[in-house]
Amino acid sequence: MDASNRPIPILRLAGLRRTFYQGHREIRVLDGASAEIYPGQAVALVGPSGAGKSTLLHIAGLLEGADGGSVGIDGRECIGLSEGERTRVRRSDMGFVYQFHQLLPEFSAMENVMIPQMILGRRKRDAQKRAKSLLAGVGLEERLNHRPAELSGGEQQRTAICRALANEPRLLLADEPTGNLDPRTSERVFAALVELIHRTGVAALIATHNHELAARMDRTLRLADGHLVEVQPGQG
């Protein structure tokens, strides 16, 4: 493909460096980590515990600073932005899914998906319409008015995924989104997540310890010794 016709990466990480200190001990978690994530791609982020996957996601999500390198979101360099500008980018261009759903317990599934939209100024009627559509798309059309405590773990996590996509973000970051679910429920949540990624065209970076699920994503990146390495199919 001609370079001029290539899509712009939604997420571009270049030469990220991050070092932590424990007493006199230096821990170099990121040491030049670089990657590009494109629209509609579900990209797995794997690596041993303590390798820095969560740190990488926090930096990519503009929640944490880096010691060096750059983070580009949809062609815009974001490392040097003010905190207010970073917040605006997170609200308008990013969605986040965590291991624990973090839904608002006093609101229904539909209301949890409506609230982020209304914060950005979408009319209640339009927010409700989109929330219903997203939830129906993951099989929750009969659970719209149930509060989180009335939902199963898988239903809660599917609601959290819909909430993350409510404002049509360009980038989705997920940290072990099926990590606290049983294998059968994990499979269903994973399938719903990947289907939404492909249908909406969002670029997604998903940290996981589940190598079987990672192998079914579009690409896999391994974080080790501070570097990101593309895992070729069949390498595991």
What the chain holds in terms of domains, given with CATH numbers, is 40-66+83-231 (3.40.50.300)
Residue 235 exposed, middle or buried by CB count within 10 Å (0-12, 13-18, 19+): exposed
Give this prediction's pTM: 0.89
Would you say residue 4 has pLDDT above 60? no
Contact 124, 118 (CB under 8 A): yes
Q: How far is CA 151 from CA 74, 163, 179, 201, in A?
A: 35, 15, 17, 28
pLDDT for residue 166:
92
Give the pLDDT of residue 102: 82
User: For 68-91, what is each residue's pLDDT tens digit?
Assistant: 999 999 988 998 889 999 999 998
> According to the model, what pLDDT value does residue 1 have?
46
- The answer on pLDDT for 236 being more than 60 is no
Q: What is the pLDDT of residue 234?
A: 57
Q: Residue 124: what pLDDT?
A: 95
Output the pLDDT for position 2. 46
Q: What angle do CA 92, 197, 136 make, to 5 degrees?
A: 90
